[in-house]
Structures are given as C-alpha cells and as structure tokens.
Structure 1
C-alpha cells in the first residue's frame, strides 16, 4: 500500500480510501466486517463514512456496523484513520440537521456512541450550510478539538469559494482549518478542476474524490452489458450519463483494452495521478471488488495515455485551454 499526507497535515493515510456507504444496505454486516478486515490486510487505513448512511434501516446504521467491528478488538480502531460527516438530517426537528453549534454538538456525541470510540480522526462537513456563520462553526469545532473528540476537520461538496471562506475564517482564529475536501471527481465529471482543486491546492487541502467511477459508468459497463453482467439496470442517472457519453465510454473501454487493463482500475489510476488528490473513495460491495482495486496502485499511465484520456474526456475550459484560475483571469 502507498501512503501520503492528508493535505498539509502530518496525518499519513492510504492512497485508497475505503468507502462504507454500502454497509448495511447492499452489503450485510458480516460481509462488511470481512471487507474491513481485508482492507487492513491490504494496508488500507483510511475509512470514510457518514452519520446519515444506513438506507432503509435508518441513519446511523453504517456507523453502528463500524462500531461493532471496532468492538471486536485486535487493534482495529488504532489502525484506522476514521472519517465521518455531519450536516444531513438525523431527525425531524429543525435543529436535527445543518451546522449549527447545537447540531454539531449533538451529532458528534451520537456518532461517537455509534462508532464506539472516544474520538473521530477527520470530521467532515457533508455540505455547506449557508445559514450558519463561519464564526459559529469554527467555534463549535474548536471546542471539539480542545476536548480531544475530533482531531482534524474537512469539507465535502464545497465550491472553491466555500473553501476560501472557511480557511480565511479559520485563519482569523489561528486555527488549522480544513485539511481535506471530498468532492465528486472522475474522468466524466471534471468540474472540480475549475475552482475546487486550485483552491484546495492553494490552501493545502487533500482532495478525496467520491464516485471515482461515475456510478460505475467507468467500470467497463459496455463490456458488462455485452456479457450480460452489468450490475445495474439501464435507468436513472447512471443510464442517463451513459447514454449522453456513450461514444466517449466506448473509446475509453477501447483504450483500456489496448492497455490490457480493467477500465475501473484505469479510472482510479488516473485520479491517483492528479496533483493534489489524496486518494479516491472505493466502495466495494464484495471482497473480490476490494481485492481488484489494488491493481490501480500499480498502473503508471504514460504521458500519451494521459493525453488520450484528455481527448476522450476533455477538461472543462470555459475560456480556452488554460486551467483554472487562468481559465477565468488570463
């Protein structure tokens, strides 16, 4: 396993992040525990979850599954860099969501209880809260840091402007601020390159891409369709994305076949090659899927391959070929 620092912090994390959103929904608790065990065997030490994960069993279910796994001992908690999130609705009350000091206090205590731990390594805001001032948010977070209940803080689904706001507000408090941003980022969704990635690099945040294979569209879905083994039916957002970019996906799968590599592994390897990316979130439903993702760490994409990927999935350029922020202010 390869490791890197999480943004400008001194925290060392694996370059593949174990996502747990399937735990308790598409993956049973027994299988979830087995996947986490195998992740540790592979050296994956960075686990990501959220208080709202749980599906039909209710918010908090996934954290409970992880907590029961920690409780089995064997140094599991000590070997895990644990990341969870706050913001989403956890009840019907008006203060059961968002980033108010009241909700943050309640949410962190509930997460600690479900996770059966005394601290969270990375506490992430799941979304920007436009109705709560940064002074309130950072004050609430500084209390948690002082109490030893949270060590680092991160954001998720923030715009570049939000990152700048957060960091400048933290600076006035002489506070470390954010160390990571979790954003949708993959070959088919490269909008983060316009402002989020430049802001993250400027402020020293590690970028943690979610949906690295665009909901499975970059996992070799056309080949799986031909083989009759596609994991999802042709409906919803997944089908819409495929239909809109079918020619690009066909070219992508052809390129991967020429490389002799699985499309899913190439998609992850591309993210790992991007400046500022800490590691993509992988969300395996099975042990085989987890084992297979390790191949992505071994793929070294040649410059001509990277250039071809840019041709198939061009980066967003609203004002010519320059990257942001030069795309706006040339």
Structure 2
C-alpha cells in the first residue's frame, strides 16, 4: 500500500496557532478487496479523498507541484499515469478542463467526477466587467470554480459526491467509505464553525480580491467583496481598469486586498498604495502534502490579522 503523505498530529494551543490538525489523520481500514487508484486534479481534493478512502485506495494528485491549474499543459506521461485508475476527481467550471481529454485517452481510464456538480456558482468576473460585457452582448465563458474554499460547501456538497464515487468504485467497502465520510464531514463542519467564530470581527466588512478565488469564502462568512482586480482569469488589469478600481474603492472603502500566492504583485501594490490599505497573501491550492483544514487554517490566520 502506497501512502501519499503522513500527518503527524499534536495538541493545538488554539484555532489560530495550531500547525497540524489531529482531525485529519488518515483513517486506517483493513483491506478487504483489491486495491485501486484514484486521481485528483488539485491538492485540496487529495486531502479530502484521503480522508474518505483511508488506506483502501491510493490517492494521487495529477497537477505537478508549483503548476498553475488554469494553464497547465498535460503530458503523455499524465495519460499513462491515468491508465487503469478508477476515478478522476476534478473541480470543473473551467478550472481543470485539461484533465477530461487526457482521462478519455487513457487506457482503461478513470470515471470522471466533477465535484462541483449541484453547487450554485458565482460569477468569475467583477460586476463592472459583467456590465461591460452585457452592453456588448457578451457573457463570461465560465463561472467561479473555487468552490472548495467554502468549508461548509465541502462538507455538504463535495464530500458526498466523492463518497458516492468511492462506493461505486469499490462496492464491497462502501460502508467503510460512508463511515469515514461521516467522521470527516463532522470534522470539517466543526472547523467551519470555529472559523466563523474567529472571523466574526470581519463580518460586514468590505474586502477587495485580486482574483475571485476567495469569493465563496467571503460570502459564507459575511464579508463583502467590493471588487475583483483581475478583469478575467489570467489577465492583468489595464491602467484604465486600475483607475476605475481605485475610483470605486474610494467610495466603497475596502479594508484590505486579498492576493493569491501566484498573482502578479504590481497591480495590487499600486492600488493598495493609493488607498492606504494592506495586502493579505492567501493560497487557494495549498502546499504538497498539506491537508485541507491546514490550508484553510493558514489562510484564516492571515485574514483575521487584517486591521479594522
């Protein structure tokens, strides 16, 4: 049995300061049928899949570390890796659409499961851009794919979709997958409740985003998104965009800008300097081997430090 990573738990001193989460220890289940492999496109899904599978399946991340999912170019080796695998979990909504074609090309390839199925989707572009597109008779191609950054959505929507896929791939162990899923769902919901308590001071505050990734997170925790700097995913704002953003922000008074770890720094720095507000660096994807709760805890630790 191959194990992707091991999380060594220790007693947390507080919600904000703990570095590892005992709640995300991988369940240990006795193997009662043939081992199988599932793939996920991004690291946060690997952590969730591991928590459902226990040691009854191998979970592998398809996207290489430090790669950007929205512009990743698959290789022939990716197709070979997917051969004879049982399931491929992808986000969908345009984020990892490169994964479906290679899964279909793989010999005895996996069942493709978009975990965003049934989730109400937010727009992918800021309102000022949507108005402009509407006037031109156009629409944005995709919605906002970052659904996993709302922990309650993970608990209520994503975990059930993944659990059903595991049960279908290995019906003999379906009961164990459901049991693991129930335990993990409870842990994620407990974490989400703790996060809500820690984020209370920011409720009804306004925050600007560089990318739209934390829009679901902000909506869940009552934080208003005043604007999104990036006009379209992967496209930097023009000087005219920045001037309009600054003009609107002087009216809306956001208290900070959340900037994804892979975003170009200059546009946000220009806007933050003009407005006199801090930049807060956040990470939607996580580090190799980092659990979902560890990732979210790290982001919340940064966000709660925003001065009011």
Per the TM superposition, whether the score is higher than 0.5 is: no
TM-score for the superposition, normalised by structure 1: 0.27
